[in-house]
Amino acid sequence: MALGLGRFGYALLLPSMRADLGWSYVQASALTAANALGYLVGALLAARVAARISALGSTLAGCVVCAASIALCALTADLSQLVALRAAAGGMAFVCGAGLAAHLARATRGPAHRVLGIYTGGAGVGIVAAVAAAPDRAIDWPAGWAVLGLLGALATALVAAAAAPLRHAGPVATASTLAPADRRRLRSLVPAYAVFGAGYIGYMTFIVALLRAEGRSTATVLGFWAVLGAAAIVSVPLWTRLLRNAGPHAGPALVLGACGFGALLPTLSASLPAALASAVAFGGSFLAVVAAVSNSARTLVPAPAVTAAIGALTVAFALGQSFGPLLGGLVADAPAGLRMSLALSALALLAGAGALARIDRPRAPATELTPTLPPAAPGRSASVPHRR
């Protein structure tokens, strides 16, 4: 839920803040990039913090910092201060929470993909809840931040109550503990996951701005956002069943392709049906990419290295989403505008899907080569000399 409120909720506030503060799209995207950099730092520090205060303690500390930094954004219009606050709402809570989810799966002996799927789907709940923070006018964006902060505090209290039995959870493994052989097995997933980070965050940052620029009403925008969040909530269990027998690269490729298709739809048509179809297709796949890649890591490396493998992939993902918003903002400020920015995000996602799809493709069995003979002379048939 921290992701839905802390990262994606900003998309609902961006058009109002940009209109009120006179920002360019690059300036507006700086807040998203700062949050992504904070996510990267939080992911790198998560294990050290968890070793000092426990996995549960670090998760709750990350939730508190996230909620507080969101609420404090209501008190300033200074760009540098907002960038610092967005960076503070990083990803330590999400990374440590994933460690808790893995610990819960082991303790209950339940299917790991099901527990992680439920955990990942919580971001969709945050997306739907963020609808309550959407401002009606340009000057109302501070109230939107305050509402998001309040929702974050409520979510923190719920996490503290629900996760109390996990206070003795083990440490959080990091990418630095991954063996070289395991790193080689993940080599093909890492660049695709980085591309996904860059492409999906571009869509989530600017899609509401595009809908506003097309003249959509507040009710329509909020309806679109609610559909996207609802699709995200149910997406992971559905994709988990569909990809049960897929290869470790074919599975993420299918979900990434659906994500890219959903991101491309609003760039091809400005109609309301296209926007709603985009909400269903993109919302119903982008969180499932995270689950699919995590599940692939479980099949590519030994069980003791799974958490460290997910940590390595998370670093690549965080790097991608740190630069994606700034590049998208540069394109959005150019004459091509928002539509071209979203189109580039969609094409990046589709390219990542295509690269992964080629890896699991079965190869034709090797056959003995037949020597090539010159064309037969007229009236004579060509024959292949047999071996003695």
Range 361-368, long-range pairs (CB < 8 A, 24+ positions): none
Compute the distance between CA of residue 322 and CA of residue 330 in angstroms, rounded to an integer. Answer: 14
> Rounded to the nearest 5 degrees, what angle is found at the Cα of 38, between the Cα atoms of 34 and 40?
115
With CA atoms as reference, report the closest residue to 125 among 287, 295, 290, 322. 287
Strand, helix or coil for residue 52: helix
With CA atoms as reference, report the closest residue to 172 among 62, 280, 19. 62
**What pLDDT, on the 0 to 100 scale, is given for residue 211?**
95
- Structural domain boundaries of the chain? 2-357
- CATH top class, domain 2-357: mainly alpha
Compute the distance between CA of residue 127 and CA of residue 197 in angstroms, rounded to an integer. Answer: 18
The token pair that represents 67 in the structure block: 């909620």
H/E run at residue 341 = helix 337-357
Compute the distance between CA of residue 175 and CA of residue 180 in angstroms, rounded to an integer. Answer: 11
pLDDT 10s per residue in the chain (388 long)? 666 787 889 999 999 999 999 999 999 999 999 988 888 887 777 767 777 777 788 888 888 988 999 999 999 999 999 999 999 887 677 767 766 776 776 666 666 666 766 777 778 888 999 998 888 888 899 999 999 999 999 988 988 887 777 776 666 666 666 778 888 888 889 999 999 999 999 999 999 999 999 999 999 999 999 999 999 998 988 898 888 888 889 999 999 999 999 999 999 999 999 999 999 999 999 999 988 888 888 788 887 777 678 778 888 898 999 889 999 999 999 887 999 999 999 999 999 999 999 886 655 444 443 444 444 444 444 444 444 4
The token pair that represents 351 in the structure block: 């390219």
- Token match 């996207």: residue? 228
